Amino acid sequence: MTESAPPAPAAGGGARPIVLGVSFKLYLDVDSTVEWAKTVAEAVRDHPAVKGGRVRLFVLPSLPAIPGVVDALQGTGVGVGAQDLFWEDRGAFTGAVSGADLRTVGCSYAEIGHAERRALFGEDDVILGRKLVAALRNGLTPVLCVGETVKSDPQTAARETAAELEAVTRDLPASDGGHDLIVAYEPRWAIGQAEAADPDYAGTVIAGLRQVLESDERIGSSSILYGGSAQPGTLSALRETADGLFLGRFAHDPRRFGLVLDEALALRDPQLRTG
């Protein structure tokens, strides 16, 4: 099983580790995904950002690719997760995927609430809240996606996105020490576009999300990542507000993913620039 990489305590900036996640959606087939993992494993095994704990990494392959990716990333410190899970662990639920089984096959993360799950599969805040509880129940760190549908002014976007976060976490149970949670802020209007959201706009929304997390005593450690056409350069632009990035298609090329990893290292320890 790959090592779990729990998120660091909530706060912006400072020397805390940067968190980088990669989702493959359904872009790559199984063989291509495993090959990506093998290539990245070689790159990160001795990378100073990962070895020194300056950067924490997780990847979310398609379901059939998970075992191969777990094997490829063994011993690298990179966590593996699923792009979805069901809210029950056992029962007459044809086609559903149990969080308990995901944990058994080596997952330590579970993505919940991506915009495509909402739009294509009709998932609402109630369903996502049940999936959130299921992930935590099975020892999986949730990667909870939130974001406004339409671009507006930053303050309106911050209110809408904070309300979405509160709705999904409404039935979160109490926990000694609080639950670990990763929130991926992905403005839905920016997904699939050429550029990420403006840093000031995204920073305003992230600040609102952080306020919600810090005021909820049920949540222990948390990280807020920016997604939505995140790419090389985005991390530097958001270095004062985001705790990391949730990467999609721009990281499916291992070389471009390496650029983001090097960028994270330069932000955390400029003396250890790799090139």
Q: Is 73 buried (19+), middle (13-18) or exposed (0-12) by CB count in 10 A? A: buried
With a CB cutoff of 8 Å and minimum separation 6, the contacts of 45 are 75, 76
Candidate list 114, 164, 252, 263, residue with the active-site label: 114
Sequence-distant (≥ 6) Cβ neighbours of residue 176 within 8 angstroms: none
Structure tokens at 253: 């090329």
Q: Is 179 a catalytic residue?
A: no
Catalytic residue among 123, 148, 160, 186: 186
Cα–Cα dist 60/83, whole Å: 6
Q: Is 114 a catalytic residue?
A: yes
Active site members? 114, 186
